[in-house]
Amino acid sequence: MTSAPIARRQFLGRALQGGVGAIALATGGGALLAACGTSTKAASSTASTTGGTTASASKSLGSGALQLDWIEDIEFAGSFVAKSNGYYSDNGLDVSLLAGGPTTSVEPIVVSGKALVGISGPDITSEAINNGAQLTIIGASLQKAPQAIMSLAKSPIADPQGMIGKKIGVQAGNLVSFNAFLKMNNISASQVTIVPVQFDPSPLAAGTVDGWYSFITNEPFLLAAKGVATHTFLMYDYGYRLYSGTYCVLTSNLQDATKRAQIKALMTGEILGWEKAFADPSLAADLTVNVYGKTNGLDIPTQTKELAAYEPLYKTSVTEAHGLLWMDPTDIAQNISTLSLLGIKSSQSYFDNSIMQEIYNGQSSLPVPA
């Protein structure tokens, strides 16, 4: 039950280990793209057997696929609700949800046209663009990246300065981001003892280290299940300003009237799905555990708690004012700055908020169908 979330952390760490450079192959249809096509076919087969029910609305816009970047778990609850409640089809688009996994690279699948929209991260998509992929980021689900420093509740590390003189467990794939975080907070590497670790947080529970590089949506729940109380602080709150779960599309599709309408319909469904998921967590957890992710060893209590942990990362002062998935120019600039510290070039031109602007049309939310 806990192996999938831990593997997810390892998968996400790959972006800063040079793995994203291979995404350049997507623009030339190389071996990576062929491999992605194989995994997509398998994912599509899975989605077709776990897709729930869809409202019988007009399909005037045809069909399109949404490529997830991981297995079906609660981080895609909004998509599951949108599919099952007919929020995509109500807007004229028949959407297939393509499951991801540790071998899935989202960007090549979007470039190939096998998916209309893909869920990834600004670091991975920016690297793909830098390597020639004609992609654009059009929305951000998590306004705040989930990276956090976790410690034991009985000896909490309250903030970055609290790490000084302490032993912090950091996975190899997260060393770049952790060192950048130290720099952001004017802490030299010599002031903290970095302990190489894997992804099982048991060493923290055992007292081998004082702190742990974690995701606020993951490891705290793994230890809580073992009766270990923890304290966390979000790295975002101390300078690590980065989106997570960003949506990318082919840039050319934004200029094509038909494709743009399809993208708008899909993203409208996403917004409605997430609004409903947060309003009805029991529905979201049930669909995740018993329908879409029924083969992934998930359980209702843990998925419900994780959904609650995701909510404040989605809902911020920006999204309260403009709506879920909105990308604020100031936040985009902060993402670019953080990516630069991570050694990744990005630019305002990599982001386009016009789809969100069209969907909300000056409103701060969308009415969710009953």
Q: Mean pLDDT over residues 122-133, rounded?
A: 98
The confidence score (pLDDT) of residue 34 equals 32
The confidence score (pLDDT) of residue 171 equals 97
Say if residue 6's pLDDT is above 80.
no
Phi, psi of 241 (to 5 degrees): -85, 100
The confidence score (pLDDT) of residue 45 equals 34
Helix axes 257-279, 300-314, angle to 10 degrees: 120
Cα(285)–Cα(291) distance, integer angstroms:
10
The confidence score (pLDDT) of residue 151 equals 98
Within 13 Å and on the Cβ side, how many CA atoms surround 176?
16
For residue 248, give the nearest of 80, 87, 135 by alpha carbon.
Answer: 135
Least confident of 4-13, 33-42, 359-368: 33-42
Q: Rg for the chain (alpha carbons), in Å?
A: 20
Both tokens assigned to 117:
């929209």
**Predicted confidence (pLDDT) per residue in 50-83, tens digit:** 333 333 345 599 999 999 999 999 999 999 999 9
The string of DSSP letters for 58-82 reads --TT-EEEEE-SSSSSGGGHHHHHH
Long-range contacts of 186-194 (CB under 8 A, 24+ apart): 187/160, 187/161, 187/163, 191/163, 191/164, 191/165, 192/163, 192/164, 192/165, 192/166, 192/168, 193/166, 193/167, 193/168, 194/168, 194/170
Query: What pTM, to 2 d.p., does this model score?
Result: 0.86
CATH code for residues 3-144+242-360:
3.40.190.10
**Predicted confidence (pLDDT) per residue in 209-228, tens digit:** 999 999 999 999 999 999 99
CB 77 within 8 A of CB 277: yes
Both tokens assigned to 307:
């959904």
Least confident of 45-59, 116-130, 142-156, 163-177: 45-59
The confidence score (pLDDT) of residue 370 equals 80
CB 175 within 8 A of CB 150: no
Q: In terms of CATH, what superfamily is 147-238? A: Periplasmic binding protein-like II (3.40.190.10)
CB 217 within 8 A of CB 310: yes
The confidence score (pLDDT) of residue 59 equals 55
Give me the residue spans of the domains in the chain.
3-144+242-360, 147-238
Percent of the chain surpassing pLDDT 70: 84
- Starting at the edge strand that comes first in sequence, how are the strands of the sheet with 94-98 ordered? 94-98, 63-67, 117-120, 244-250, 135-142
- The yes-or-no answer to whether 3-144+242-360 and 147-238 have a common fold is yes
Say if residue 116's pLDDT is above 80.
yes
For residue 221, give the nearest of 289, 306, 148, 145 by alpha carbon.
Answer: 306
N residues, the chain: 370
